[in-house]
Amino acid sequence: MAAVKLLDFWAGWCFPCKTMAPIIEELEKELAGKVEVVKINVDEKPEEASKNGVMSIPTFIVLKDGKEIGRKIGVTSKAELLKLLQS
Q: Which residues are catalytic?
A: 14, 17
Continuous H helices in 1-87: 15-30, 46-51, 78-85
SS3 86: coil
Q: What gap in Å lies between CA 56 and CA 69, rounded to an integer?
A: 19
Q: What gap in Å lies between CA 87 and CA 48, rounded to an integer?
A: 23
User: Before 58, cis peptide (omega within 30)?
Assistant: yes
